[in-house]
Amino acid sequence: MQRPRLYDHIVLLFGVFLMMGPLVVAITTSSFLPETIHREGMQLGWGGHAAETYWNVLTKKGGFSENITGILMTQNSLILGLGFAVGKIVVSMLAAYAIVYFRFPLASFFFWVIFATLLMPLEVRILPSYEVVQGLGMLNTYTGLILPLIASATGTFFFRQFFRSIPDELIEAARIDGAGPVRFFIDILVPLSKTMMAAIFIIMFVVGWNQYLWPTLMTTDETLYTLVRGIRQVMNVYVGANIPDYNEALAMAVLAMLPPALVIIIFQRMFIKGLVETEK
Amino acid sequence: MKKSVFTQPTLPYLLLAPQMIIIAIFFIWPAFEAIRSSFFIQDPFFGKSTFVGIDNYTDAVGKSDYLRTANFTFWFTLFVSFLSLGFGLLFAVSADQVLRGQASYKTILMWVYAIAPPVAGLIGIMLFDQHIGPIVDFFALLGWRMQVGVSYFDTAFAMTVVATWKQIPYNFIFFLSGLQSIPRAVREAAAIDCRRPFRRFWTIVFPLLAPTSFFLLILNITYAFFETFGVVDLMVKGEPGNNPVTLVYKVYQDGFRGLDVGGSAAQSVILMILVLALTILQFRLIERRVHYS
């Protein structure tokens, strides 16, 4: 194809500027002292105070109760991200297996119930969900944090699509060899689904890590704050203070975006596959 | 449905049990609760509720701030969807063309997907801050003195910019994978028939991408409605006051801050109906897409 490449490079460099610019400024500014930022605005270049700022954010006990640190928040974020991803994969794989490979009464009823969950994001039923979780005494627990997020059945649909694309010959062969449904699942279906599981795991980890609204409502106990939830706390400080700790707020933002960003960059191919396939 | 299936009496129910229990407790129950409480007025202090029929709906929809919020949500959704689709497509088409550096461009352009909306919102309020924000400085050069948080329009503008920025990588990824799935033969034929790249794009490539675009449009509308909560919350700094907010934010605000359970529930139900319509549309489009491919 004959086409001047220069135009494309200019467009892409503009894209790089647009997407990376804000992040670069956020990272560089976080290395300056708040007074400097307050006086001179956001900074490019290196302020040389990064180490102490990030150390502070990670280890200083903050919050009203004075017992939450950045490290603890990172740990909570990991629990939420991993718990959400693993829970979703396990629950939805089992359900999809039942729907695709078994013939039983009520199968289509269950399918439609699962389908219905796609119609209502957590955001629109947020208040009653909160009340239910409160009624079950699950406020400020990891269970209450993670389970309601798993209720939406995107994963089940994804695995259903995938299982349906697996050739029928496999199950026939397995049957001839005398494998029952449990053997078939463990020895054939799970190994076949490995790539898909990895892809969906990456997406779900990022989605779980980035949850905001639900953790904001759910966790009033500061020791359960995730990094993303902590962003809101940082902002409250920002509103009241004379010279806000811009640097620490930005450091927190950088910490909150780093792990999911790394996951996406390292497992880029998997990530794209997972994203494009799940949304279909 | 598979041709060969197992017929076990209890196993399928056991397999479905975890999913169904979670759905029953954390989805069906709250959903019915939302619908039920939308017909009641609840006393926030004594928990007594009175049946009021559709009063909550008429009250909610009739209020001027609801209309203002709906109006803002409409324009916000429109701009965020089309702008992020536009930029995503622009970058994807170019990334599809270049050979050198394609992998690096791809990585750089897509990883903003990993950033949580509230994190984007936090960086946003700083970039648009009146004292320290470089974007405010930039517009000041053009003679626009931005006052995000004070001026309704300026806040709306900043919110739209941040929400769009956050969504560009998503559209970029989908458009790029759509472009790369166009068969080589079609591309080569196109290159022979249409020498001018812009014409080639609009007459051949774009129509091939049309199903992807429609489908993405729905996903973008959903994003602008629901997933921008974090952006909005951070950019109004948790204190909406006179600032623009989205409908989803208002559900939260009225329910948790205003303690107007019935009104909030009624608004939830209105949003549910909207999502229902969008999902139906989405599934019809998927059927079409599968049909053509």
What is the full DSSP assignment across A14-36? HHHHHHHHHHHHHHHHTTS-HHH
Domain ranges within chain B, ordered by starting residue: 75-244
User: DSSP state, A66?
Assistant: T
pLDDT > 90: what percent of chain A?
24
Q: What is the pLDDT at residue A238? A: 63
Among A136-145, A223-232, B205-214, name the one with the lowest average pLDDT.
B205-214
Nearest CA in chain B to A268: B107
Q: How far is CA B128 from CA A96, A171, B118, B169, in A?
A: 46, 59, 15, 21
Interchain contact B21–A (C-beta under 8 A): no
B6·A129 Cβ contact <8 A: no
Task: Give the model's confidence band at A256: pLDDT under 50 very low, under 70 low, under 90 confident, else very high.
Answer: very high
Q: Considering only residues 117 to 146 of chain B, which have any Cβ-Cβ distance to chain A shorter than 8 Å?
A: 117-119, 122-127, 131-134, 137
B111: nearest CB among A3, A182, A265:
A265
Global confidence as pTM: 0.89
Which residues of chain B have a CB within 8 Å of the CB of A263? 114
Angle between helices B152-180 and B102-110 (to 10 degrees): 140
- Section A139-148 average pLDDT: 89
Which residue, among A19, A132, A229, would best test binding to B if mutated, counting the most B CBs under 10 Å from its CB?
A19
Task: State the residue for tokens 């690096």.
Answer: B104
Asked if the Cβ–Cβ distance from B26 to A236 is below 8 Å, we say no
> Which residues of chain A neighbour B27 with C-beta distances below 8 Å?
116-117, 120, 125, 151-152
Q: CB within 8 A of B257, min separation 6: which ones? A: none
Any chain B CB within 8 A of the CB of A91? yes
At A8, the pLDDT band (50, 70, 90 cuts) reads confident
The arithmetic mean of pLDDT across residues A56-65, rounded, is 74
pLDDT single digits (tens) B175-191: 998 888 888 888 888 87
CATH 1.10.3720.10 at B75-244, yes or no:
yes
What residue ranges do the domains of chain A occupy?
5-278
Specify the pLDDT at position B286. 66
Q: Give residue B204's pLDDT.
A: 80
Q: Distance (Å, rounded) from C-alpha B226 to C-alpha B61?
A: 19
Q: Return mean pLDDT, chain A.
A: 85
| Regions of chain B where pLDDT drops below 70 | 1-4, 43-47, 238, 286-293
What CATH number does domain A5-278 carry, 1.10.3720.10, 3.40.1190.20, 3.40.50.300, 3.40.50.1370? 1.10.3720.10
**pLDDT at res. B283:** 75
Distance between B129 CA and the closest CA of chain A, angstroms: 9
State the nearest Cα–Cα gap between B82 and chain A, in angstroms: 17
A246 pLDDT exceeds 80? yes
The distance of B275 to chain A (nearest Cα, Å) reads 6
Nearest CA distance, A125 vs chain B (angstrom): 6
Average pLDDT over residues A221-248: 78
State whether residue B93 is helix, strand or coil.
Answer: helix
Per the CB < 8 Å rule, is A124 touching B279?
no
Residue of higher predicted confidence among B214 and A78: A78
Closest CA of chain A from B84, distance in Å = 12
Q: CA–CA separation, A35 vs A41, rounded Å?
A: 10
| Mean of pLDDT values over A201-214 | 91
CA B224 from chain centre, in angstroms, equals 3
| pLDDT of A86 over the 90 cut | yes
Element (DSSP H or E) covering residue B50: strand B49-51
Per-residue pLDDT, averaged over A167-178, amounts to 84
Q: B196-235 burial by CB neighbour count: b if 16+ within 10 A, else e?
A: ebeebeeebbeebbebbbebbbbbbbbbbbbbbbbbbbbb
Chain B residue with the nearest C-alpha to that of A10 = B94
Q: Chain A, 125-154: which have a CB under 8 Å from a chain B CB? A: 125-133, 136, 147-148, 150-153
In angstroms, rounded to a whole number, what is the distance separating the alpha carbons of residues A255 and A228? 9
State which residue of chain B sits closest to A170, comparing Cα positions: B4
- What is the predicted pLDDT for the residue at B256? 81
And the tokens for A165? 């694309």
Query: Binning pLDDT at 50, 70 and 90, where does residue A1 land?
Result: very low
- The span from the CA of B264 to the CA of B42, in Å, is 11
Phi, psi of B6 (to 5 degrees): -80, 145
Residue A130: strand pairing partners: none
Greatest mean pLDDT range, A136-140, A152-156, B197-201, B257-261: A136-140
Quote ipTM for the complex. 0.88
Of B113, B119, B177, the CB nearest to A276: B177
Helix (H) or strand (E) holding B41: strand B40-42
Phi, psi of A242 (to 5 degrees): -70, -60
What is the token pair recorded at A202?
A: 């990456």
Among A23-37, A122-136, B45-59, name the one with the lowest average pLDDT.
B45-59
Residue A164 one-letter amino acid: R
Please judge whether B19 and A156 are an interchain contact, meaning their C-beta atoms are less than 8 angstroms apart: yes
Chain A residues in contact with B291 by the CB 8 A cut-off are: none
- Confidence at residue A93, expressed as pLDDT on a 0 to 100 scale: 92
